[in-house]
Structure 1
Amino acid sequence: TKLSDDINYRFSHCNWSEFPLTAEKFMDNIYKSSDKERVFNIMFGYEAIGIYNNKDSGIFDFFGALPYFAIEKGIDFGLPHTVVDKNQSVGSLSSVYQISWAGEDKSLAPYCGNELQNEALNKLYGLATRVNLSADEMLRFDWYRLQDISHFFYMANKNYQGDTFAMPYESQYAAFMNYMNVLSDFIERVGAQFPSSVEDEELNSLLKTISNQDEIIARQKEEIRRLKSEKSRR
Structure 2
Amino acid sequence: MIRTPESWFISLIEPYYPPAPDPYSHDISNLGPLLGANSDNDILSWTNEDPRESVLFNSWGVLYRFQTTVTPNGKSVTTLWRAVRLNKEDRVAKLEWAANGGLGRVVIGKKTLPMADLVRTDPRIYDSRLFNGPDGLQYRWRPSSNNSDIVLQDANGVIVALFRPTRKTRYQIGDVYGELHFLRTAGSGTVMHPPIMDTVTVTAMLYRFCAAWNL
Q: Structure 1 or 2: larger strand share?
A: 2
How would you bin the TM-score normalised by the shorter chain? under 0.3
Instruction: Look at both structures and tell me which one has the larger radius of gyration over its CA atoms.
Output: 1
Q: Which has the higher contact order (CA 8 A, sep 6+)?
A: 2
